Amino acid sequence: MYSASMSWRLLGAMVLAIAALILLIVSAVNLTANRSAPVVLATMLTVVVVGALAMIFIIQAVSTPKTAKLITALPPSAKLVHVHRQKVYRWAKLLAILLAVCAALGLVVPGNAKYIAFSAGGMALLLAAVLLPVMYVNARRFDRSLTALECDPWVHWQYPPAQWTEWVEAQVDRMKTKPPAFVLRRDWQKLAWPCALIAAGVLLFSPGTLLERILYVLFCCGALFAIAMLSARDARRAPEKMRAKLIAAAPEVYFGHDGIFCDGVYTTWLGLSVYLLSASIDERQPRSLLFSFEKVVPSPYTADQVIPIQQSVLLPAGAESDIARLQRELGARCPKARIAIAT
């Protein structure tokens, strides 16, 4: 999806956007030079929020290749889905609860300690003013793309309730057979080495009394142990969580130009962070299609992490013509992916 020319275009757009943001900040400072402190603060906060939103949307628009742009044009009669925006609504509710708690603490806590609560609420409000609009705009774009896909799919399969229940149990059983990622008796050395390094560093180089250093080591090692145990517990509960998720999902699947909608999850073929690697037939009973994706998670501290994602789709009876069309459409849409679903 990417090329050297696109990288240069992205770099040029970022330089121009940063220059425009600097000019906006300088203009705001000059215009509010002789104003009161509340006016200056409100103006600068507005500039920060507007500038951050503009930078994010400009970078998103310029960095998205043509092949990854979603189809968002809808027929007049289409009813827009709310699959992705529902998540934004939940985050907005959590923010409202957090702000209410901070406001209540600020009114109840005596002395200067109340400003800690007010500061935390102010920081949360400032972050939300930037993140929530971005989340909503992106979620609405994905909802429009999903609606367009449902209006004009390549293939649409629906399953009877009994067949869907059988498929749900098959997927849960397959997940149960996977070996657990962490077992204390088997993987205790994975915890022992970090704990030993932490203990050596703290005991040899940290200031404080011996008792304080020992307590700090116990706290850090205990936190690592708790995280490992919680992760293992979540892994044990994963099959039941999958069962609940699949039962709640609609017993159907949509394939279209932008991606696949299955199990209540919309996954795009080509995106900024997720892309299709392969599609094949899983011969285990009941037979299914297996789509393998990779998700790139940027990290400011290390190299980008690549997370594998697999999506299984139950094969209905008499779907040979649909599979042949999927082979053709996916081969054209994702020419670098390994598509081998048609016999």
CA distance from start to end of the chain? 29
Residue 281's alpha-carbon distances to 67, 299, 329, in angstroms, are: 26, 34, 16
Which regions in the chain score pLDDT beneath 70? 1-3, 180-184, 300-303, 343
pTM of the full structure = 0.80
Angle between helices 37-63 and 114-151 (to 10 degrees): 30
Residue 211's alpha-carbon distances to 222, 231, 323, in angstroms, are: 16, 30, 67
- Answer yes or no: are the C-beta atoms of 150 and 261 closer than 8 Å: yes
Cβ–Cβ contacts within 10 Å for residue 51, how many? Answer: 19
The two structure tokens encoding residue 177: 């057979």
Cβ–Cβ contacts within 10 Å for residue 228, how many? Answer: 17
- Answer yes or no: are the C-beta atoms of 341 and 280 closer than 8 Å: yes
The domain locations on the chain are 1-60, 81-152, 155-340
Task: In whole angstroms, give the CA distance from residue 36 to residue 206.
Answer: 47
The two structure tokens encoding residue 295: 């998700």
Could you give the 3-state DSSP secondary structure of residue 178? Answer: coil
- Answer yes or no: are the C-beta atoms of 238 and 131 closer than 8 Å: no
Give pLDDT tens digits for 299-337.
766 667 888 899 999 999 888 899 999 999 999 999 999
The whole-number pLDDT of residue 207 equals: 82
**Phi, psi torsion values for 186, nearest 5 degrees:** -90, -35
Cβ–Cβ contacts within 10 Å for residue 120, how many? Answer: 16
**Phi, psi torsion values for 247, nearest 5 degrees:** -65, -35
Could you give the 3-state DSSP secondary structure of residue 257? Answer: coil
Residue 77 belongs to what H/E stretch?
none
Tokens 């940290």 belong to 206
Q: Which of 226, 50, 73 is nearest to 151 (CA)?
A: 73
Give the percent of the chain with pLDDT over 90. 34
Tokens 């304080």 belong to 212
Strand residues in 155-273 grouped as ranges (E): 155-158, 252-255, 259-262, 265-268
The whole-number pLDDT of residue 180 equals: 67
Q: Characterize the bridge pairing of strands 305-314 and 338-340.
A: unpaired
